[in-house]
C-alpha cells in the first residue's frame, strides 16, 4: 500500500495527544486576527492516535531505498557507504549550533576546518586555489564556467562564444555552458570512447572558451589523451575544465592539474561521502589554476594575523550561495579525508578493482561495449533481445537498486554500474548472480517485474510529463 494516506486512517475526534489547559490568560483569535485572515473552514487534518502516526511514517520510511538498506550501484552517482563518524563530526554542537552570521572571531574552528579542507582539495587536485562555495556539482560547473567567462571579459577577449562538450558528457555540462550564455557544441568519440582528439583539433579556434571533460568519462574510461587535449585548447588560448564529480577513481593516482586541466569541480557528497540520494545536500567545491584564482566566488578562507578570515578574491564573480557553502557537507568531507589520510589512494584502487571485477564476471553474458580496463564504473548491455529497463526492474525484485540505465546516451540499452569501493566481494557476487539470472529469464517474465515492490511498473513517461506532486 504505497500511497496510502494517513487521513484515511483517522476517525473524527481521535487524538494522539492532550494538552493541559493553559494556566495563563490567552487572547481570542478574533482579537488578534482580522476576519479575512481567519480560516473559515476547519483544516482537513488526519485525526489519528499516536501508534497510527508512528506506524504510518515508519512504514513509509521502509519503502525508501537507501545505501543503508541495499546495494545501490547507480552509475555516476557514487552511492558509497557514508561512515557514521562523519555524522558524529557534523553533529558536534559547536559546529551544528553555529550561526552563519556569527563574528569570525567566534567561528575560528569552523573557519579552520574550511581552510584545511581547501588545502586538502588543493593537494588532491594539484591546483593552488579552491572555493568551497558551490552547493552541488552542477553549481560547481556553472561557477567554473562563469569564472572562465569573467577571465575573458577581464582580458578584453570578447570573441569567446563556445564551450565544447563530449558526446558522453553528463547533461549538466551542456546545460552549464548554455546557462553561462555560451553556445554548447559537441565533440565526438574515438574507438575507446574517449574524446576524438583530431576532431577537437579541427573544432577549436579563438571563439572557443573551454572544453568540459569528464575524467574518467561516463563510460568509466580514462581519457588517456587528456594532456594532449589540454595542449590543443591552450594553443588557442582556451581553458580545459574537468568535471571531477567522480574523483573516486583518481584519488592519489591522478591530479587534474598535472594532466593539464585549468579548473575543476569536485562532488564532495559523492567522492567524500555525504548521503545524497533524492537531491539531498551537496557540495560542488572547485579548484583552479593561479590564472583563474582571482575570479573565485566570494568568500574564501585565508589566514591573517587575527587568525582565519573570510576574504573576497580580487576579481570575484561574486556570491554563488548564501553564507559559506554547505557547511555540514564540508565538515563530512574534511572528516572523511582526515580518516583516510594517505590511504585515500586505497579508495581509488578498490573502486577500480570492484568495477573491473563486475566487468570481468558479466562479460560473456552481458555485452561490454568498451571492454578494456575501466575505472570506477562500467557500462554493460543486456544480451541481444533484452531491454535494460526490464533487467533494471528485475533487479528490484532481487533487492537491488538498479544501475543507471539509458545513460550515457552513446550506448544503446546502456546499464552503467558503479559498485564503489565500500562493497565487499560477497555483495558483488550476489549482485552479479542476480544479473546473470536475469539474463536467462524470459522476456515475458521480465516484463512483469517488479512483482515484490510496493508498486508494480509505473508509467514513467506519463509520470514525467504529467507530474502530480500532490493529491
State in angstroms the smallest separation of the CB of 171 from ligand PLP. 8
Q: Which residue number is nearest to ligand PLP in terms of Cβ?
A: 137
* Phi and psi torsions of 462, nearest 5°: -70, -40
Which has the closest alpha carbon to 361: 378, 339, 343? Answer: 378
Closest contact distance (angstroms) between CB of 284 and ligand PLP is 6
**# residues near ligand PLP by CB under 6 A:** 15
State which of residues 136, 200, 247, 405 lies at the interface with ligand PLP (CB under 6 A): 136
Nearer to ligand PLP by Cβ, of 78 and 225: the residue is: 78
Q: Which residues pair with 308 in a beta bridge?
A: 303
| 133 lies in the binding site for ligand PLP (CB under 6 A) | no
* Least distance to ligand PLP, CB of residue 344, Å: 19
Cα–Cα distance, 321 to 133 (Å, whole number): 6
Examine residue 134 and tell whether it contacts ligand PLP (CB under 6 A).
no
Question: CB of residue 3 vs ligand PLP: minimum separation in angstroms?
Answer: 27
Sign of the dihedral defined by the CA atoms of residues 9, 15, 17, 23, in that order: positive
Tell me the closest approach of the beta carbon of residue 172 to ligand PLP, in angstroms: 4
Residue from 214, 215, 225, 381 touching ligand PLP (CB under 6 A): that is 214
Half-sphere exposure of 249 (CA within 13 A, CB side): 29
Segment near ligand PLP (CB under 6 A), from 131-139, 229-237, 371-379, 393-401?
A: 131-139
Contact pick of 246, 250, 316, 381 for ligand PLP (by CB under 6 A): 246
Q: Does 243 bind ligand PLP (CB under 6 A)?
A: yes
Using rule CB under 6 A, residue 143 touches ligand PLP: no
Span from 60-68, 240-248, 402-410, 414-422 in contact with ligand PLP (CB under 6 A): 240-248
CB of residue 76 to ligand PLP, shortest distance in Å: 4
Strands 183-187 and 404-405, how do they pair? Answer: unpaired
Single residue of 73, 137, 216, 403 touching ligand PLP by CB under 6 A? 137
Judged by CB under 6 A, the chain residues 156 through 185 that form the site for ligand PLP are: 170, 172
Cα(87)–Cα(447) distance, integer angstroms: 41
Q: Which of 73, 166, 256, 282 binds ligand PLP (CB under 6 A)?
A: 282
According to CB under 6 A, which residues from 45 to 84 bind ligand PLP? 76-77
Residue 245 to residue 16: CA distance in whole angstroms: 46
Between 138 and 145, name the residue whose CB sits nearer to ligand PLP.
Answer: 138
Exposure string of 371-408, with b = 16+ CB inside 10 Å and e = fewer, is eeebbbbbbbbbeeebebbbbbbbbbbbebbbbbbebb
Binding flag, residue 267, ligand PLP (CB under 6 A): yes
Does residue 413 belong to the site contacting ligand PLP (CB under 6 A)? no
In Å, what is the CA distance from 53 to each residue of 8, 58, 60, 111?
12, 8, 11, 41
Considering the rule CB under 6 A, would residue 225 count as an interface residue with ligand PLP? no
Asked if 328 touches ligand PLP (CB under 6 A), the answer is no
CB of 370 to ligand PLP, least distance (A): 16
* Residue 223 interacting with ligand PLP (CB under 6 A): no
Stretch that binds ligand PLP, among 65-73, 188-196, 241-249, 404-412 (CB under 6 A): 241-249
Residue 356 touching ligand PLP (CB under 6 A) = no
Which residues contact ligand PLP (rule: CB under 6 A)?
76-77, 136-138, 170, 172, 214, 218, 243, 245-246, 267, 282, 284
Amino acid at each position: 500500500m504505497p500511497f496510502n494516506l494517513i487521513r484515511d486512517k483517522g476517525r473524527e475526534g481521535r487524538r494522539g495527544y492532550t494538552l493541559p489547559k493553559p494556566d495563563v490568560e490567552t487572547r481570542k483569535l478574533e482579537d488578534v486576527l482580522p476576519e479575512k485572515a481567519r480560516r473559515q473552514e476547519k483544516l482537513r487534518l488526519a485525526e489519528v492516535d499516536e501508534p497510527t502516526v508512528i506506524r504510518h511514517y515508519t512504514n513509509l520510511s521502509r519503502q525508501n531505498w537507501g545505501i543503508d538498506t541495499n546495494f545501490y550501484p547507480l552509475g555516476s552517482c557514487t552511492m558509497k557507504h557514508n561512515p557514521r563518524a562523519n555524522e558524529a563530526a557534523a553533529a558536534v554542537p559547536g559546529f551544528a549550533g553555529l550561526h552563519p552570521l556569527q563574528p569570525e572571531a567566534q567561528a575560528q574552528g569552523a573557519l579552520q576546518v574550511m581552510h584545511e579542507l581547501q588545502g586538502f582539495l588543493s593537494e588532491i587536485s594539484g591546483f593552488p586555489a579552491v572555493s568551497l562555495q558551490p552547493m552541488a556539482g552542477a553549481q560547481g560547473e556553472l561557477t567554473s564556467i562563469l569564472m572562465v567567462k569573467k577571465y575573458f571579459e577581464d582580458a578584453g577577449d570578447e570573441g569567446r562564444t563556445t564551450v565544447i562538450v563530449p558526446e558522453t558528457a553528463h547533461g549538466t555540462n551542456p546545460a552549464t555552458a548554455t546557462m553561462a550564455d555560451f553556445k554548447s557544441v559537441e565533440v565526438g568519440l574515438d574507438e575507446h570512447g574517449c574524446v576524438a582528439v583530431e576532431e577537437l583539433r579541427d573544432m577549436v579556434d579563438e571563439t572557443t572558451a573551454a572544453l568540459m571533460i569528464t575524467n574518467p568519462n561516463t563510460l568509466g574510461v580514462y581519457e588517456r589523451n587528456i594532456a594532449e587535449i589540454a595542449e590543443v585548447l591552450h594553443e588557442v588560448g582556451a581553458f580545459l575544465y574537468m568535471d571531477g564529480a567522480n574523483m573516486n577513481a583518481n584519488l592519489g593516482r591522478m591530479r587534474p592539474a598535472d594532466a593539464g586541466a585549468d579548473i575543476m569541480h569536485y562532488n564532495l557528497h559523492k567522492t567524500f561521502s555525504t548521503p545524497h540520494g533524492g537531491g539531498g545536500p551537496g557540495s560542488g567545491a572547485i579548484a583552479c589554476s593561479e590564472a583563474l584564482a582571482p575570479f573565485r566566488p566570494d568568500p574564501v578562507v585565508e589566514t591573517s594575523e587575527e587568525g582565519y578570515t573570510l576574504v573576497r578574491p580580487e576579481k570575484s564573480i561574486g556570491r554563488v550561495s548564501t553564507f559559506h557553502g554547505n557547511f555540514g557537507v564540508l565538515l563530512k568531507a574534511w572528516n572523511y579525508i582526515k580518516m583516510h589520510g594517505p590511504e585515500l589512494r586505497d579508495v581509488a584502487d578498490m573502486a577500480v578493482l570492484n568495477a573491473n571485477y563486475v566487468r570481468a564476471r558479466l562479460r560473456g553474458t552481458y555485452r561490454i561495449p568498451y571492454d578494456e580496463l575501466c575505472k570506477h564504473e562500467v557500462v554493460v548491455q543486456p544480451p541481444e533481445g533484452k531491454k535494460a529497463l526490464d533487467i533494471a526492474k528485475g533487479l528490484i525484485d532481487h533487492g537491488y537498486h538498479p544501475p543507471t540505465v539509458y545513460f550515457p546516451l552513446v550506448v544503446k540499452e546502456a546499464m552503467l554500474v558503479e559498485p564503489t569501493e565500500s562493497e565487499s566481494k560477497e555483495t558483488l557476487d550476489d549482485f552479479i548472480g542476480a544479473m546473470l539470472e536475469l539474463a536467462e529469464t524470459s522476456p515475458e517474465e521480465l516484463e512483469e517485474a517488479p512483482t515484490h515492490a510496493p508498486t508494480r511498473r509505473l508509467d514513467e513517461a506519463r509520470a514525467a510529463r504529467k507530474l502530480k506532486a500532490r493529491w
